[in-house]
Structures are given as structure tokens and as C-alpha cells.
């Protein structure tokens, strides 16, 4: 696994220790060095247990913001709760700063694992301590006290000067401890290059717009993230929410970093896996909105690494009447790294259903009234369950998989891998037509309480060996490498203009059985972890509120 923070981490010394099991993400395209800080979060503790254990705690990034080279007078130091600004940066003008969340509950935490920092290179790290320097917690012992800075605060520590404490850190992943109720606010984190100098702005190719940190990226930055498909064409591919070099925002996200698992990373690096958004859709002359491509990468704990790239974007009205979406699936052996299965096709998601009423019913939108007559409770029809704006809850997608590509379709339809969004950002308006049928005339943005980005999870059926997501090469159109149309139902020659490449290891027969939900643990790499039903704890994945409409 890439970066699961194992219980053994609790046996390590408290601060500045590398978190075990974390694999560094790749450098961005273009060759420029990334910003000092690669990722961060607060650990939101639900109950005692191992750091990172599913169902025990969660990652919190709400109210946090990394601002490269922006530690200067007037900077807001509290993004959510208090009016708190920097008055004088002292000798630290122009350093990087991680503004943390000034949450009252967080001040009371007592844990050596509270603020996570992932450093791209060695750095000098400072803590702005909003309290008595003689009353700091034990994890700050051994740090060197630096100059004071001044902040606008409703307490004596502000205008008169706030102490800072400094320590050198190597590149890698580190934890800082909690406040332990010894300060009036959660500390902020300063970052300088090794030696204490401020970082420098990354170079920009001549003639191109200069990206500004913490703002929208110019188009050319986004266009760097491309991959060549099996057909020789260039396609968009996965990228993070925030460009790691220029620290500008893309305004959308694509889920899991596909390189987080060693088996996947190796095959992506050698070109065996080509994560090309739009490969199958282009063969069918479909143009799917780019932001809708979502990636799910996970280790099934049964000897396989899975990579799914699904055009699964419940952020706009486009999804109401569209049934066919691109679906890409790879399964690899975690032991050998060998690709066992690779399928690319357009998956049928059936009817758009209103799950907020009893009995459930199909929508009858004016632009696709035939949706109302599609079956959703029989056969192998998929379904898109889009709630009304007047209801909270989840949006679930149940695709219709195709046996011609070796995917065993069970009966009933629920016995497939299904995908769910917790509190979708856009839901259906409640209008009805003259026959009292719900029409979903428009998509309405959810209340700001849910403005946290899409928290997607998925389920794999399985309480016993008769369930599960099953791939059997014997029922496919062919084995080994072969080509089909974009629906995956008819053989094609490799040279046919609509030919889509497929692969099944000859004789392959595997099954993933799970009775748990698989939830995203963090917003940076989007590591999926299995948790028992009823223990789906996760918070915002909207980094620095960098997502836009739609995401």
C-alpha cells in the first residue's frame, strides 16, 4: 500500500518522525521543482485508536491553506472563525505559511499526531505559538525559539509579539503534535528552504501567463497533464486538485492518484497502463465533460490492485438524461505487478431515479421524457439515483456491466460494484408535471453546509463466496489482447476506427468479495479504505475551497 499510517506509528517518537508506509507522489510534468509543502491535514480524532485506522479518525483540511511566499503584513490567519491578521512578520517576510484551522475543540487535543506535513525537500519549519513560550507542550522541546511576530488578536499575546519555534526537517512525511490546551489558538506553520531562506517563485516558459498561487491555474498548466493512448492520440489524464509547482487551483478533481499503489505506479511509469480520459468515448464520438472523470485506486487485500476510471460526475444537469459513460478497469497482481485484466467501454447506467419519494419513481425531464418509462427494478438495468434538493442523503450509481468483457453479471442487479456520493453538491428541483411526475427541471446547488467537494465511496457485494465482483475470461469475447467496439460487445480489428483495446489474461478467474464500504481517507492521494457499514466518517475533500462549479 501507498501511505496507510499503521498503528505501529504510535510507537515512534512524537514529532518530526516520518510516517511509515507512505510513498512519495511523482514530480509534476515540466521538470520544475514543486513547492516546499506537498500535502497537509489535521487529524480529526473520533475515538482512541491507531492513527489513520478506518472508522477511527478522519482527515480535516477545511479552514487550512498553504500560501507559498505570502507571509506578509495583512495576511489572514484564521479563515473561518475569528478576525485574526498578521501585523508584522518580523524577519520572516516572504516565507511560506500553512494557515491552520483555529477550531476551539482542536486546542484541547492531546496527541503527538495532529498536523500532518508532507515535505517535498528538506526545510526549516517554524511554529507560531499563540501562547506563553514557557508553557508549550513537550513535543516542542528541542525546537529553537526564534523572533516574535505580531498578530491582531483579542488576547495579550498578539500586538506585543507572538513567539516562534524552529526546527530542521528532512524531506518526507511528518507529524506535529497538538496544542494540549496550552495556547489560545492552534499554531500556524512557517516553512523556509534549508538554511532559512524564503522559497523562490518557479520559472514560467517564455510567453505564457504566470500562474499566481492560491488562484485559478492558466490553461497551459492544466494542459501539461496528458498521456498518449494506445491509438497514438494524446488524452487528458489524472492530476491533483492543486498544481504542486505553482500551487494554483484547477477547479476540479479526479479522485485517486493512480500511482499510489506500487503495482500501478510501475505499470504507469513503463507505459503499460495508459490512463487516458476519453479513449473509449472518442471511439463512439462522445465528448464527455472533462471534470467528470473520477479515479478509484485501491488494494482489495485479496492479492489485487484495482484501478477504475469512471466518468462519474454528479455536478450538473448533464447526468440527468445521459445513460452511457466511459468506464476503464485494470486489475493487477500485487505480488508480481502483472496486468491481469484491462477493459475500456461505455457503461450503461440506465434510468435517472428519484430516491427521495416512496415509492421510488423515475424522473420525467422535458429533455428526455423517455427516462420515465425505463425499468429500474428488473433485469440488469443500471440506475442513477439523484435525490431532490429538499432531501439530504446520497446519490448512487449502479452501472450495467457487460459479460462480453468477462465481467460476471449477477442477479439481482444489486450484486455489482456500485458508486455513491455523500450529499451531492447538486440535486433535483421538486417540480412536477400535470400528471404529478417529477421532472427535475433544474439542478439546484446544495446548501453551503455540504460545500466540501464530492465524497465518493463504493461498495463491493459480498457476505459470502457466492457474492462479489467477478471477472471470468472464459465468458468474454476473447482472451489475451483483443479489440471491441466502444460498448465492449462486438469484436473489432485493431485497425478499425472504432476499435478499443481490451485484455484478459488467458484462463483468468478472480473475484473480489467485500461486505464493507470503501471510503476515501485523504484529499491528496484519495486512498480508499474499507470500513464497516455505519462507520463512514470523512470530511471535506475540497482543498482550500479550490473546486468550482461543477467539480
Distance of alpha carbon 197 from the chain centroid: 32
pLDDT-based confidence at residue 6 (cuts at 50, 70, 90): very low
Contacts for 508 with CB less than 8 Å, ≥ 6 apart: 340, 341, 406, 471, 472, 473, 479
Q: How many CA atoms lie within 13 A of 83 on its CB side?
A: 1
- Confidence at residue 547, expressed as pLDDT on a 0 to 100 scale: 84
- Confidence at residue 15, expressed as pLDDT on a 0 to 100 scale: 35
Q: How far apart are the first and last CA of the chain?
A: 28
Q: How far apart are CA 253 and CA 292, in angstroms?
A: 8
Rounded to 5°, angle at Cα 257 from 251 and 258: 135
From 9-13, 151-155, 333-337, 380-384, the region with the lowest mean pLDDT: 9-13
Q: What average pLDDT does the structure give for the chain?
A: 86
- Write the pLDDT tens digit of every residue in 89-115: 999 999 999 999 998 889 999 989 999
- Confidence at residue 317, expressed as pLDDT on a 0 to 100 scale: 82
pLDDT-based confidence at residue 46 (cuts at 50, 70, 90): low
Rg (CA), the chain: 25
Instruction: Quickly list DSSP for 439-455.
Output: ---SEEEPPGGG-S--E
pLDDT-based confidence at residue 14 (cuts at 50, 70, 90): very low
More confident residue, 477 or 466: 477
- Write the pLDDT tens digit of every residue in 435-471: 999 999 999 887 765 566 778 889 887 655 567 889 9
Query: What does each C-alpha distance from 35 to 192, 246, 377 come to in angstroms?
Result: 11, 7, 51
Query: What does each C-alpha distance from 433 to 306, 363, 364, 369, 436 come to in angstroms?
Result: 44, 10, 8, 11, 5
> What is the percent of the chain where pLDDT is above 90?
64
Place of cell 469484436: 491
pLDDT-based confidence at residue 5 (cuts at 50, 70, 90): very low
- Confidence at residue 424, expressed as pLDDT on a 0 to 100 scale: 83
pTM to 2 decimal places: 0.90
Instruction: Quickly list DSSP for 266-332.
Output: HHHHTTS----TTHHHHHTT----GGGEEEEEEE-SSSEEEEEEEE--TTSTHHHH--EEEEEEEEE
Q: How far apart are CA 551 and CA 547, in angstroms?
A: 6
Q: How far apart are CA 285 and CA 493, in angstroms?
A: 18
Question: Is residue 537 over pLDDT 80?
Answer: no
pLDDT-based confidence at residue 513 (cuts at 50, 70, 90): confident
Residue 240: name the closest of 456, 523, 539, 528 by CA: 523
Bridge partners of 192?
A: 124
Contact criterion met (CB below 8 Å) for 497 and 503: no
Amino acid at each position: 500500500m501507498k501511505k496507510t499510517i499503521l498503528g505501529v506509528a504510535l510507537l515512534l517518537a512524537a514529532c518530526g518522525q516520518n510516517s511509515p508506509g507512505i510513498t512519495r507522489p511523482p514530480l509534476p510534468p515540466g521538470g520544475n521543482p514543486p513547492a516546499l509543502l506537498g500535502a497537509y491535514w489535521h487529524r480529526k480524532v473520533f475515538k482512541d485508536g491507531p492513527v489513520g485506522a478506518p472508522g477511527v479518525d478522519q482527515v480535516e483540511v477545511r479552514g487550512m491553506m498553504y500560501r507559498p511566499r505570502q507571509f506578509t503584513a495583512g495576511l489572514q490567519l484564521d479563515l473561518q472563525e475569528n478576525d485574526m491578521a498578521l501585523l508584522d512578520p518580523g524577519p520572516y517576510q516572504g516565507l511560506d505559511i500553512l494557515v491552520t484551522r483555529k477550531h476551539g475543540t482542536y486546542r484541547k487535543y492531546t496527541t503527538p499526531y495532529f498536523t500532518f506535513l508532507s515535505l517535498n525537500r528538506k526545510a526549516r519549519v517554524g511554529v507560531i505559538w499563540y501562547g506563553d513560550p514557557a508553557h508549550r507542550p513537550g513535543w516542542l522541546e528541542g525546537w529553537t525559539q526564534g523572533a516574535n511576530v505580531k498578530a491582531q488578536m483579542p488576547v495579550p499575546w498578539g500586538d506585543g509579539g507572538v513567539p516562534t519555534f524552529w526546527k530542521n526537517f528532512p524531506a518526507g512525511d511528518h507529524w506535529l503534535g497538538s496544542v494540549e490546551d496550552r495556547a489560545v489558538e492552534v499554531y500556524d506553520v512557517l516553512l523556509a528552504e534549508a538554511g532559512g531562506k524564503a522559497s523562490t517563485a518557479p520559472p514560467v516558459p517564455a510567453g505564457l501567463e504566470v500562474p499566481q498561487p492560491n488562484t485559478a491555474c492558466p490553461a497551459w498548466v492544466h494542459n501539461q497533464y496528458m498521456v498518449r493512448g494506445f491509438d497514438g492520440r494524446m488524452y487528458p489524464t489524472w492530476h491533483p486538485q492543486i498544481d504542486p509547482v505553482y500551487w494554483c487551483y484547477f477547479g476540479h478533481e479526479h479522485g485517486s492518484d493512480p500511482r499510489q499503489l506500487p503495482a500501478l505506479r510501475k505499470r504507469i511509469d513503463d507505459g503499460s497502463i495508459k490512463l487516458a480520459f476519453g479513449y473509449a468515448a472518442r471511439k463512439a464520438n462522445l465528448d464527455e465533460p472533462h471534470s467528470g472523470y473520477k479515479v478509484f485506486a485501491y488494494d482489495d487485500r485479496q492479492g489485487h490492485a484495482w484501478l477504475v476510471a469512471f466518468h462519474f460526475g454528479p455536478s450538473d444537469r448533464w447526468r440527468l438524461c445521459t445513460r452511457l459513460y466511459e468506464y476503464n478497469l485494470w486489475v493487477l497482481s500485487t505480488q508480481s505487478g502483472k496486468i491481469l485484466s484491462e477493459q475500456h467501454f461505455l457503461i450503461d447506467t440506465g434510468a435517472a431515479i428519484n430516491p427521495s419519494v416512496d415509492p421510488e419513481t423515475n424522473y420525467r425531464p422535458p429533455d428526455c421524457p423517455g427516462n420515465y418509462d425505463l425499468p429500474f427494478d428488473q433485469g440488469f438495468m443500471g440506475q442513477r439515483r439523484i435525490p431532490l434538493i429538499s432531501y439530504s442523503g446520497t446519490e448512487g450509481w449502479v452501472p450495467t456491466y457487460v459479460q462480453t468483457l468477462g465481467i460476471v453479471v449477477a442477479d439481482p442487479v444489486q450484486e455489482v460494484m456500485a458508486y455513491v456520493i455523500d450529499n451531492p453538491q447538486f440535486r433535483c428541483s421538486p417540480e412536477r408535471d400535470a400528471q404529478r411526475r417529477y421532472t427535475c427541471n433544474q439542478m439546484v446547488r446544495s446548501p453551503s453546509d455540504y460545500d466540501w467537494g464530492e465524497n465518493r465511496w463504493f461498495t463491493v457485494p459480498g457476505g459470502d463466496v457466492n457474492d462479489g465482483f467477478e471477472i471470468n475470461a472464459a465468458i468474454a469475447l476473447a482472451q489475451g489482447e483483443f479489440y471491441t467496439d466502444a460498448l465492449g460487445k462486438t469484436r473489432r480489428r485493431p485497425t478499425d476506427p472504432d476499435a478499443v483495446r481490451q485484455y484478459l489474461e488467458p484462463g483468468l478467474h478472480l473475484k473480489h468479495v467485500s461486505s464493507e464500504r470503501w471510503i476515501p481517507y485523504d484529499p491528496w492521494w484519495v486512498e480508499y479504505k474499507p470500513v464497516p457499514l455505519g462507520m463512514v466518517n470523512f470530511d471535506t475533500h475540497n482543498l482550500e475551497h479550490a473546486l468550482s462549479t461543477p467539480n
